[in-house]
Amino acid sequence: MKHFFDDPTCVDHTDENLTLIPKRIKGPLPNTEPIVWGLQAVHGPSMAMILAVWLIIACICVLFIWIWLRYHPGDLGGAAGPPAVVVGWIAIGLVLLQIYGRRDV
């Protein structure tokens, strides 16, 4: 199709070349054609969903630290330890879920 860019006069005003352009597909790709133009589509969580989950986890951790420091003033190490362990285990779990999760392809 590069010759259309070099010499577009051969295209004229017909619509038959528009049918060659791949159309936009909303939602997941059909299972009949998982490979499109050399790219393999793999479905996974969106970046917005990952950021939303991490924001919720961060808010819960900050709330835990704040409550801990109200009842145990000056014990910042005891307040920050449990949330750090929980966040670490959640991160490991999310990575393992991506590695060993269900694949449709």
Question: What is the predicted pLDDT for the residue at 25?
Answer: 73
* CA terminus-to-terminus distance, the chain: 30
Alpha-carbon span 34 to 26, nearest angstrom: 14
pTM of the entire structure? 0.49
- DSSP state string for 85-104: HHHHHHHHHHHHHHHHS---
31-79 tens-digit pLDDT:
665 555 666 666 677 788 888 888 998 899 999 999 999 999 989 888 9
Tell me phi and psi for residue 14, to 5 degrees: -90, 160
pLDDT value at position 65?
92
Can you give the pLDDT at residue 66? 93
For residue 40, what are the β-bridge partners? 35
Task: Look up residue 52 and give its amino acid.
Answer: A
